[in-house]
Amino acid sequence: MPLAKLDHVTVLCADVDMSRRFYADVLGMVDGDRPPFDFPGAWLYVEGRPVVHLVGGRNERGITETGSFDHVAFDARDLAAMRRRLSEAGVEFRERGVPGRPLHQVFLHDPDGIMIELNFRDEG
């Protein structure tokens, strides 16, 4: 198979700084190096890889040409710590277990309304 793994997701955000703080401060990603593009943005890293690319100014007219994208999911660790982080940040979330699997999921929305799924394996 020519595909190896998902590389990154790009978020067209209304406020780059607010989104950067959400992904870094709330979810714990690292705000890292980004090439000097001629448009505003940020790259957020997980385990040394830039997995969320934020782009500002490109969705000012409500562009929806990317289709039926529903959510993005991340493997996560330490369910209790994440619950605390989200609660302390005032972020609403919901949880559910996956029937027949040792998997617990947490769902929340970023500042632009994108659903984020956090998967905690063998926790919950």
Domain that holds residue 33: 9-58+70-121
On whether residue 27 sits in a domain, the answer given is yes
On whether residue 65 sits in a domain, the answer given is no
User: At 96, which helix (H) or strand (E)?
Assistant: strand 93-97
Q: What is the CATH number of the domain that holds 92?
A: 3.10.180.10
> Tokens standing for 34?
């980004």
Q: Determine the average pLDDT of the residues in 90-113.
A: 94
- CB 16, CB 40: distance < 8 Å: yes
Identify the band that residue 57 occupies on the pLDDT scale cut at 50, 70 and 90.
confident
- CB 10, CB 58: distance < 8 Å: no
pTM over 0.75: yes
On whether residue 1 sits in a domain, the answer given is no
Catalytic site residues? 117
Report the domain count for the chain. 1
Per DSSP, helices labelled H in the chain are 16-21, 79-88
On whether residue 63 sits in a domain, the answer given is no
On whether residue 64 sits in a domain, the answer given is no
What percentage of the chain has pLDDT greater than the value 70?
89
On whether residue 33 sits in a domain, the answer given is yes
On whether residue 2 sits in a domain, the answer given is no
pLDDT (0 to 100) of residue 66: 63
On whether residue 16 sits in a domain, the answer given is yes
50: pLDDT strictly greater than 90: yes
| Strand order, beta sheet including 9-13 | 9-13, 49-56, 41-46, 30-32
Radius of gyration of the chain, Cα coordinates, nearest whole angstrom = 15
How many alpha carbons fall within 13 Å on the CB side of residue 88?
A: 9
Alpha carbons 15 and 40: distance in angstroms, whole number: 10
Q: What are the phi and psi torsion angles at 21 (to 5°)? A: -65, -40
